[in-house]
């Protein structure tokens, strides 16, 4: 995945990929953005619109205190999820059943930011409608679009992006400087075929002739440069000349520039091996980036054996047909540029494989989601959240395919895929998107009861209950209960009752909530996974007991649930249990223990983008700070929480139990500070964004505290201890492998074993554990046994 470090604020990839020339265009776009709120960069595919937009955005980001945000739209197959994509990119996780475009407009209302909508070609009408709704509501908003054609709006300033110049530039002392197109060719040659760079510099006239033949189109130039490993510049030029002649015979009237790009892509295709050409076509089924595992699962058959896949993938990357990306954990993914993907998709249709590959792609997505759900109650939660987030564009495409190509098998897969993703919809802040997919699947599938449909019903009801939409939640949950009874499905009955109990809790009917949740827990089997069953049920039951002021009963059920989480390495629900248990600690006068729980909860919720949990936890912490006579800090925390609730339309925090927590904290703080001082501190907190608020609550430390290992851990071996120490020093797997004289794969496998042994979630936790629990860190000769909780 792209490096998402934020130099100021935003989500621009850093560092920017190769960028040559374009000084005049950068200045023109920058000047246009200064006086126009909507600027569209137009031009043919491969001409460098996206790269120019990113360069300009990097140059002007200091003008936008609320950030520069990139929305990559090529992965969307239709406009239904356009608003969700924009909301997700700018950090607004939609929590409410209200019209989403209106919530997004409110979110952007007081912000000064630049929004980049990249690759709008296939969504022109939807993008135009969104822009029309946002610009009047957000006066500080600027929008920069890239598209092959403009939106056609009156307020739009359109700037065509030309190809790179191919003629030499005059220099101050009379010498000519290579044209920008030639400089790009030489730059790519240095990267892709360094052994050919010297020859290229001695044949600049031949390079210029080649770039002129390619019309200065950056993508065509990069594809040509990739062939320098086997051909000279003159041989590349001669081959392309022949291809131009062939295209001229078949595509009379086509613009020369389009012929140039088509020739470069077609020649790259011709130079591929049969396996590479077939893989290229099949890779077009992926909407966004993909892993090697995904490629192997989706693209393998008798015509393209598993043993040939990795070699073909490497070959496509060598020819610059794939872009290689690495995420923060070192996992490698690849993606195709839109123009290259479109060419592959054309061949996939020609081969008659479009639908078969889409089915295999959907089946892969379903397998990934099944694995993630099965692992969600264990120590790999955060890693699976990262992995599934990366796959979401592909999952969306799979759902769309299944629901636009109806049939019994597709219906079943759509219901299962959308419902098993409950952990991403609810745990990671995508409520509205999840409900959209589920309701669409339920509408388009037969109403006969089955287990997949029952699960989809109660997951949809669960989402609606978190949105505090009782009118929407209750029919789904009651239908799920009726269908579960007809099917003899006790787990389905348990989940239906569980979320009906949550609806009652969120509306202040404590006794009804306790009764329903108690019945649900009795129906859950001992083998039921912790999530979404026994642990969330106990969490809601504990909250209901707290609301009834029955602290002893609340603590008993909450501690029982937390023990289950600790024993299994689960952290997401543990964070919610912790803010509730902080309330029981407070009732017993254990303020230090309560604050420690809150700190643990906050970093977890922030990692999962859990805005509901974060807002509530900040308010609980505010109450604790006020009780400790730190009322000014309490007021700021309340202001930050209020801003989160309003900015993200967090409906669930309006429930009576949560409102009472907030009201008590507010009263205590005002009593200590007086109304005027309170309002001033509250306003300071309200100006914080979510990251600033969490950092403030944690005393500006967003690094997670090291978790204690689980009770059944064994001591680490000497080799494991040394490996862990090297990891804590910041070394990657390859560097560790070299230090230990072993293989990269062996290091990766050993780290996975150590995480499982210690009950930790990811490498960050392991590094923190190594520093915290070993005396002086973990040494090479003294493996440290983990301490049990």
pLDDT tens digits, one per residue of 552-571: 999 999 999 999 999 999 99
Nearest to 148 by CA among 179, 127, 130, 132: 127
User: Residue 95 has what pLDDT?
Assistant: 55
Q: Which two tokens stand for residue 110?
A: 């007081």
More confident residue, 721 or 662: 662
Residues 6+ apart with CB under 8 A from 365: 391, 394, 395, 398, 417
Where b means 16+ CB within 10 Å and e means fewer, 338-368 reads bbbbebbbebbeeeebbeebbbbbbbbbbeb
Whether pLDDT at 458 is above 90: yes
> Quick one: 421 exposed, middle or buried, by C-beta within 10 A (0-12, 13-18, 19+)?
buried
Q: What is the pLDDT of residue 16?
A: 47
- Contact indicator for 376, 423 with CB cutoff of 8 Å: yes
pLDDT average, residue stretch 667-696: 92
Q: Which of 284-293, 534-543, 720-729 has the lowest mean pLDDT?
A: 720-729
pLDDT of residue 81: 81
Q: Which of 14-23, 237-246, 682-691 has the lowest mean pLDDT?
A: 14-23
- Answer yes or no: is pLDDT of 501 > 80: yes
Q: What is the pLDDT of residue 179?
A: 82
Q: Tell me how many degrees the CA angle 63-69-71 measures, rounded to the nearest 5.
A: 145
Question: What's the CA gap between 692 and 677, in Å, rounded?
Answer: 21
What average pLDDT does this structure show over 671-693? 92
Looking only at the bridges linking them, the beta strands covering 156-160 and 38-42 are parallel
Q: CB count, 10 Å around CB of 572?
A: 27
Say which residue the tokens 């967003």 belong to: 702
- Give residue-wise pLDDT tens across range 732-784: 677 787 777 777 777 877 887 787 667 665 665 676 566 444 433 333 333 33
* Predicted local confidence at residue 175, as pLDDT: 62
Read off the pLDDT band of 485 (50, 70, 90).
Answer: very high
Question: Which helix (DSSP H) or strand (DSSP E) does residue 143 occupy?
Answer: strand 141-147
401 pLDDT above the threshold of 70: yes
User: pTM of the entire structure?
Assistant: 0.79
* Residue 410: band (very low, low, confident or very high) from pLDDT cuts 50, 70, 90: very high
What is the β-pairing status of strands 113-118 and 141-147? parallel
**Better pLDDT: 679 or 430:** 679
Q: Does 704 or 392 have the greater pLDDT score?
A: 392
Cα dihedral sign, 168-170-175-177? negative
Report the C-alpha gap between 93 and 54 in whole angstroms: 24
Q: Give the model's confidence band at 9: pLDDT under 50 very low, under 70 low, under 90 confident, else very high.
A: low
Q: Which stretch of DSSP H or E encloses residue 71?
A: strand 68-72
Range from 22-36, 258-272, 306-320, 729-743 carrying the lowest mean pLDDT = 729-743
Q: What is the average per-residue pLDDT within 223-234?
A: 85
CA-nearest of 318, 429, 411 to 366 is 411
Question: Which residue would you say has higher pLDDT here, 683 or 727?
Answer: 683
Choice among 246-250, 330-334, 418-422, 781-785 with the minimum mean pLDDT: 781-785
Cβ–Cβ < 8 Å for 420, 373? yes
Task: Report residue 705's pLDDT band, with 50, 70 and 90 as the boundaries.
Answer: very low
Q: Is the dihedral angle over the CA atoms 162, 166, 170, 171 positive or is it negative?
A: positive
Cβ-proximal residues to 301 (8 Å cutoff; 6+ apart), any chain: none
Pairwise CA distance, residues 747 & 29, whole Å: 48
* Residue 3 pLDDT exceeds 50: no
Q: What does the pLDDT look like over 176-214, one tens digit per residue?
A: 678 888 888 888 888 877 777 777 777 788 888 888 888
Distance separating alpha carbons of residues 626 and 710, to the nearest angstrom: 34
For residue 638, pLDDT beyond 50: yes
pLDDT for 730: 59
Give the model's pLDDT for residue 679: 96
Higher pLDDT among residues 562 and 647, named by residue:
562
Q: Calculate mean pLDDT across residues 1-14.
A: 44
Residue 634 has a pLDDT of 95
What is the per-residue pLDDT for 93? Answer: 63
- In Å, how far from its chain's centre is CA 148? 27
What's the pLDDT score for residue 124?
92
Q: Are 54 and 267 in contact (CB under 8 A)?
A: no
Please tell me the distance from the alpha carbon of residue 487 to that of residue 448, in angstroms, as a whole number.
11
The overall average pLDDT reported for the chain is: 84
152-156, long-range: CB < 8 A, 24+ apart = 152/124, 152/128, 153/38, 153/128, 155/36, 155/37, 155/38, 156/36, 156/38, 156/39, 156/40
Helix (H, G, I), strand (E, B) or coil at 96: coil
């Amino acid at each position: 995945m792209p490096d998402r470090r934020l130099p100021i604020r935003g989500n621009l990839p850093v560092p920017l990929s190769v960028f040559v020339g374009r000084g005049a265009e950068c200045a023109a776009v920058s000047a246009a953005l200064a006086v126009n709120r909507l600027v569209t960069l137009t031009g043919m595919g491969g001409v460098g619109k996206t790269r120019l937009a990113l360069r300009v955005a990097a140059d002007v980001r200091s003008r936008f205190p609320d950030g520069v945000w990139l929305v990559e739209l090529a992965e969307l197959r239709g406009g239904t999820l356009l608003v969700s994509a924009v909301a997700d990119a700018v950090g607004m996780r939609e929590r409410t059943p209200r019209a989403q475009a209106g919530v997004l407009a409110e979110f952007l209302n007081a912000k000064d930011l630049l929004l980049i909508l990249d690759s709008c070609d296939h969504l022109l009408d939807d993008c135009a409608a969104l822009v029309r709704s946002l610009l009047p509501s957000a006066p500080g908003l600027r929008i920069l679009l890239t598209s092959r054609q403009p939106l056609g709006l009156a307020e739009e300033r359109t700037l065509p992006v030309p190809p790179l110049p191919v003629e030499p530039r005059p220099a101050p002392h009379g010498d000519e400087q290579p044209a920008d197109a030639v400089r790009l060719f030489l730059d790519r040659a240095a990267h892709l075929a360094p052994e050919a760079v010297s020859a290229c510099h001695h044949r600049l006239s031949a390079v210029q002739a080649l770039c002129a033949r390619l019309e200065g189109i950056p993508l065509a130039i990069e594809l040509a440069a990739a062939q320098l490993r086997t051909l000279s510049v003159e041989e590349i030029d001669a081959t392309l000349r022949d291809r131009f002649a062939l295209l001229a015979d078949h595509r009379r009237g086509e613009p020369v520039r389009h012929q140039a790009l088509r020739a470069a892509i077609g020649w790259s295709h011709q130079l591929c091996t049969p396996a590479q050409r077939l893989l290229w076509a099949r890779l077009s089924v992926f909407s966004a980036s993909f892993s090697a595992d995904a490629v192997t699962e989706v693209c393998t058959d008798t015509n393209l054996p598993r043993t040939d896949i990795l070699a073909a993938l490497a070959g496509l990357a060598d020819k610059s047909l794939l872009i290689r990306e690495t995420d923060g954990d070192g996992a490698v993914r690849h993606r195709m540029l839109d123009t290259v993907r479109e060419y592959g998709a054309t061949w996939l249709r020609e081969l008659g494989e479009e639908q078969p590959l889409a089915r295999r792609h959907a089946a892969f997505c379903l397998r990934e989601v099944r694995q993630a759900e099965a692992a969600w109650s264990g120590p790999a939660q955060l890693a699976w959240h990262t992995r599934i987030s990366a796959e979401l564009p592909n999952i969306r495409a799979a759902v769309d395919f299944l629901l636009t190509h109806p049939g019994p098998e597709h219906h079943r897969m759509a219901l299962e895929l959308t419902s098993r993703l409950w952990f991403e919809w609810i745990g990671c802040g995508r409520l509205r998107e999840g409900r959209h997919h589920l309701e669409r699947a339920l509408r388009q599938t037969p109403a006969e009861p089955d287990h997949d449909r029952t699960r989809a019903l109660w997951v949809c009801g669960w989402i609606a209950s978190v949105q505090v939409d009782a009118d929407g939640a209750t029919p789904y949950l009651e239908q799920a209960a009726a269908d579960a009874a007809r099917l003899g499905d006790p787990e389905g009955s348990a989940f239906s009752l569980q979320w009906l109990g949550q609806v009652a809790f969120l509306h202040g009917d404590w006794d009804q909530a306790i009764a329903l949740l108690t019945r649900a827990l009795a129906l859950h089997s001992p083998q039921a996974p912790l999530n979404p069953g026994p642990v969330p049920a106990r969490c809601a039951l504990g909250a209901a007991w707290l609301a009834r002021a029955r602290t002893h009963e609340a603590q008993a059920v909450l501690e029982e649930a937390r023990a289950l989480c600790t024993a299994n390495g689960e952290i997401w629900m543990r964070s919610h249990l912790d803010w509730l248990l902080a309330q029981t600690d407070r009732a017993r006068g254990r303020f230090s223990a309560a604050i420690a729980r809150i700190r643990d909860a906050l970093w977890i919720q922030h990692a999962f983008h859990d805005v509901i949990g974060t807002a509530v936890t900040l308010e609980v912490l505010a109450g604790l700070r006020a009780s400790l006579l730190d009322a000014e800090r309490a007021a700021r925390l309340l202001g930050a929480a209020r801003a989160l609730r309003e900015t993200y339309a967090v409906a669930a925090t309006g429930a009576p139990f949560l409102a009472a927590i907030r009201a008590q904290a507010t009263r205590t703080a005002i009593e200590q500070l007086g109304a005027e001082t309170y309002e001033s501190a509250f306003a300071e907190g309200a100006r914080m964004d979510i990251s600033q608020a969490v950092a403030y609550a944690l005393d500006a430390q967003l690094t997670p505290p090291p978790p204690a290992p689980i009770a059944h851990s064994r001591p680490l071996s000497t080799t494991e201890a040394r490996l862990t120490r090297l990891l804590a020093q910041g070394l990657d797997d390859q560097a560790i492998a070299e230090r230990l004289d072993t293989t990269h794969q062996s290091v990766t496998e050993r780290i996975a074993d150590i995480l499982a042994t210690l009950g930790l979630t990811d490498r960050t936790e392991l590094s923190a554990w190594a520093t915290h629990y070993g005396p002086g860190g973990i040494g090479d000769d003294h493996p440290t046994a983990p301490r049990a909780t």
